[in-house]
Structure 1
Amino acid sequence: MNGYPAQEMLERAKEWASGDDRISAALVYGSVATGRADEWSDLDLLVVTAGDREEVWAERQQIADRVLGGEGCVWAGEVSHQRPYRYAAYRADAAQLDLTMDDGRAKPWRGLADGFVAILDRDDIVAKLRADFEGWKPLEPDVEVSDGATWVWLKYLAGRLRRGQHWMVRCGLVSLAYERIVPLLGVSPNAVETALPAELRTRLHGAIAVRRGGRRTDPSAPSDGRTVRRRARPLVPANRAGPTGPSAGARDPGPHRQAVIGATGAIGCDRARQPISGGPSTRSPASLRTMPWDRDSLIAAVAAEGRDVDLSDAVRRSGWESVVLETRDGWILRFPRPHVAFEREVALLRRIAGRLPARTPVIVWTGERTKFAAYRKLNGCVFDVEAYRRAPSHQRDRLARSLAGFLVAMHAVLTPGEIAELGIPGGGDSDDAQILDRLDRVPRVVRHDVETLLAEIAALRRERAELGRPVVLHDDFHFGNVVLDGPVGYLVGVWDFSCVRMGDPSEDLRYLAGGPVDLLDRVAHAYEQLSGRHVDTRVATMAHRHEVVSDALDLDEPETLVDVVTRWRVADACAS
């Protein structure tokens, strides 16, 4: 089987568990369940026995051998410092199985709270577990630090320091930061590598280039000329520490240390490495790289309009659909890229003002000499994925219902006459043709997967087209284009309407397919309750994958599809 070791172990675990009548349920959690697995990932497997735990536990070595496959495990042992009935086993190539056993029902704990997938459920174990999670809360990080082994560890390090064992102390402080300090910030240690704000990363990269003798004049642009943010990864923005813009009128995010941000509109249809589309693709990587306006040129263009705007500390931001200036007093000055239907977006924003359940940009004025729009920033909080994973079910539902409520309203915001008057484009399959034309650039090991994806999304779209008329899609609905009233709060603002088109409502949920495992289902359920119209999560997932492939080819990065497609295989294996 092609794929990561964790994927191969997953298949063997399913085969073993389904053939053992003593097993009530088998749940996979960790990176495999959340779609973040790679070749170094282990398989986190929780088995629930039906009253026979001691008997099954006695066979843990044989079970590990079977799941690991190959030559079986070369080292195994109980993980005594973690929860009971926990067993770690390693293969000669370092592939790892973490096996945990519960009896009767699965116990809620932090590992499962981050997301899990059932590969076997004979006795409604999952339903019972979700019910148990309703009133469950993880131990607060500060309590965990105060009551755990932190102070014992510090005393140990102090003793080593007095003895002059500096190397051990340095190693120990790294462990202290990882296991104790990082959780105090409300961040999972496993996510800390992606928690650095994009703006700070850009400044650091720029500083490194200067230190190495680089001559980049624009630190916001990578050395290859591409824009800083690319379209395929975070549906969910990285956790940020500290404000990124004026916060007047925004709710205080409080102890979550969540940024208060504004609607810059700079990203455009930028999915920041996570994309898709069902309609024709007009974006051009060349236009991203050749946009001639640097910060000084943009400031000069605004100044030429004779408006009273303080541009002294304006910040330039760049995305797929636009380049913007953000002023310190809350103005957003958005310059469209050549392929964007700027006049239509301005007309649309003016038409829908006040007609949706969340704030949208209100165009105050537009440039007469140069094409750009001016509006006030929308303030609010960015979505915090780690806080979401810790949040109770009712809070997750509140967020999901607000997202669904906006989409329901958006999909019905225009009359047929307004749609025709504004010239809202329809969907299409030109992206399919573009992918097919470049299929020979897709790595051979995943080319069949891409062909299968194209066939499935085409079939799904034909099937959906027969079920109902298309609606007005926002078509860029992801957490980079919205603000909430709290880190896991209610939707209060949405921007970037440059990608609006007609299409299947299911495709407006596609970016949710890359987030927490339950969010897509919650939003789809709320959408159907509010509208009475069915949305298909499989369409959303396939549409998302379709756009990831398209973007990888647009960015001339087809080699990235090997890892991406392998993760999809794991996700599909978990869901089957």
Structure 2
Amino acid sequence: MLSRVVASVPADLRFEALVGAGSMVTGGFDDESDLDLVLLVRPDAFATAMADRRAFAGGLGDLLACFSGEHVGEPRLLICLYGPPLLHVDFKFVAADDLSGFVERPLLLWARDPETMQCRLDALQIKPALRDGQWFEDRTWVWMHYSATKIRRGEYFEALAALDFFREAVLGPMLRRQAGERPRGLRRIETSSGAVDRLLPTVATCDRASLVAAWHASIALYLDLRAVDPPPHPIAHMPGALLDFLDGPA
């Protein structure tokens, strides 16, 4: 599919370049990887390229389904499933005069003017989304209060989802950061030394006792991780007030 995209893009004069992102840049790209592709569009043709993007995606092969990325706050993204064989491809359409949104330096796959485009990519000021200890502290107690309310109310599936989210948004990134790795949630967390053993107690089944145990384990792990990089402004009354909330009378 990648070679097909690279071969097809030059015929559409609205496109100035095609770059790769995701695991093509960060490493770990293999046969199971999605394709993360960014199409750099002539600014004067951006509106038409956005309007025609489903037709563009459909012309590349057996497109089974596609939808835009508003659910992740990125309407320029078109998420596609091709096959069989099944393949997930993300196309992001970006005006070529606005390269400010990259959080990693993309890989140039094709350009009408390769030398100029590569110089522009090399000159990008990459600003990865860095999350410090205060970022995690400000969110942890709100998110864990939410999961506690669901446990108290008996909404066990919602509580499971909330604990899963906390593991991905807080515990996984903190473990990766302290291991000196890129904080990419739970992606390939199994390869991070010791992470699996520390995370397993935070995984619950759909009953109250298991959820309560996983909830406490999640807070305990967060506190252990927080101690390595304490936030400058810890949230008052935490974790005591939250422990009393879940463990006290309903």
Judge same fold: TM > 0.5, yes or no: yes
Mark the runs of 5 or more structure 2 residues left unpaired by the alignment.
Answer: 178-182, 198-227, 230-250
Give 2:152's aligned residue.
162
Within the alignment, does 1:103 sit opposite 2:100 as a pair? no
Which of 162, 170, 174 is equivalent to 1:180?
170
CA contact 2:23–2:29 (8 Å) conserved in 1? yes
Distance in 1, matches of 2:137 and 2:47, equals: 34
Within the alignment, does 1:58 sit opposite 2:51 as a pair? yes
Give the letter aligned to residue 193 of structure 2.
L
Distance in 2, matches of 1:183 and 1:64, equals: 33
CA contact 2:42–2:96 (8 Å) conserved in 1? yes
Which of 8, 32, 48 is equivalent to 1:16?
8
Give the letter aligned to residue 44 of structure 1.
D
Alpha carbons of structure 1 residues 65 and 150: separation in structure 2 relative to 1, 3 Å: farther
CA contact 1:108–1:132 (8 Å) conserved in 2? no
CA contact 2:106–2:121 (8 Å) conserved in 1? no
Give the letter aligned to residue 188 of structure 1.
R
CA contact 2:41–2:93 (8 Å) conserved in 1? yes
Distance in 2, matches of 1:41 and 1:25, equals: 22
Alpha carbons of structure 1 residues 64 and 156: separation in structure 2 relative to 1, 3 Å: farther
Give 2:217's aligned residue.
none
Give 2:129's aligned residue.
139
Distance in 2, matches of 1:97 and 1:57, equals: 16
Alpha carbons of structure 1 residues 178 and 140: separation in structure 2 relative to 1, 3 Å: same
Deviations 1:283-320 (A, max 9, x none): xxxxxxxxxxxxxxxxxxxxxxxxxxxxxxxxxxxxxx
Alpha carbons of structure 1 residues 90 and 108: separation in structure 2 relative to 1, 3 Å: same
Alpha carbons of structure 1 residues 170 and 29: separation in structure 2 relative to 1, 3 Å: same
Within the alignment, does 1:37 sit opposite 2:29 as a pair? yes
Give 2:192's aligned residue.
195
Distance in 2, matches of 1:78 and 1:153, equals: 27
45-54 vs 82-91, greater mean Cα deviation: 82-91
Distance in 2, matches of 1:18 and 1:168, equals: 47
Task: Give 1:126 deviation, angstroms.
Answer: 3.2
CA contact 2:10–2:112 (8 Å) conserved in 1? no
Deviations 1:413-440 (A, max 9, x none): xxxxxxxxxxxxxxxxxxxxxxxxxxxx
- Structure that is richer in helix per residue: 2
Match of 2:74, SS state, is coil
Give 2:79's aligned residue.
88
Which of 65, 70, 73 is equivalent to 1:75?
65
Match of 2:59, SS state, is helix
Distance in 2, matches of 1:164 and 1:14, equals: 52
CA contact 1:44–1:97 (8 Å) conserved in 2? yes
Distance in 2, matches of 1:36 and 1:92, equals: 22
Distance in 2, matches of 1:30 and 1:131, equals: 19
CA contact 1:88–1:99 (8 Å) conserved in 2? yes
Distance in 2, matches of 1:162 and 1:122, equals: 59
Task: Give 1:196 deviation, angstroms.
Answer: 1.0
Larger Rg: 1
Distance in 1, matches of 2:29 and 2:121, equals: 24
Within the alignment, does 1:128 sit opposite 2:120 as a pair? yes
Give the letter aligned to residue 83 of structure 1.
E
Structure 1 length as normaliser, TM-score?
0.29
Distance in 2, matches of 1:63 and 1:146, equals: 44
Distance in 2, matches of 1:167 and 1:193, equals: 25
Alpha carbons of structure 1 residues 109 and 20: separation in structure 2 relative to 1, 3 Å: same
Task: Give 1:197 deviation, angstroms.
Answer: 5.5
Give the letter aligned to residue 107 of structure 1.
S
Task: Give 1:153 deviation, angstroms.
Answer: 4.6
Give the letter aligned to residue 32 of structure 1.
M
Distance in 2, matches of 1:191 and 1:155, equals: 28
Distance in 2, matches of 1:172 and 1:191, equals: 21
Deviations 1:169-192 (A, max 9, x none): 123212211122222341323242
Give the letter aligned to residue 156 of structure 2.
H
Match of 1:132, SS state, is coil
Match of 1:88, SS state, is strand
Percent identity over paired residues: 24
Distance in 2, matches of 1:34 and 1:138, equals: 12
Give the letter aligned to residue 89 of structure 1.
C
Q: Please list every run of at least 4 consecutive aligned residues from structure 1 whose deviation after the TM superposition is greater than 6 angstroms.
A: 149-152
Query: What is the number of equivalent residue pairs in this alignment?
Result: 185
Give the letter aligned to residue 6 of structure 2.
K
Give the letter aligned to residue 111 of structure 2.
D
Task: Give 1:23 deviation, angstroms.
Answer: 0.8
Q: CA RMSD in A?
A: 3.0
Alignment of structure 1 residues 410-489 onto 2, 5 Å: none
Task: Give 1:91 deviation, angstroms.
Answer: 2.3
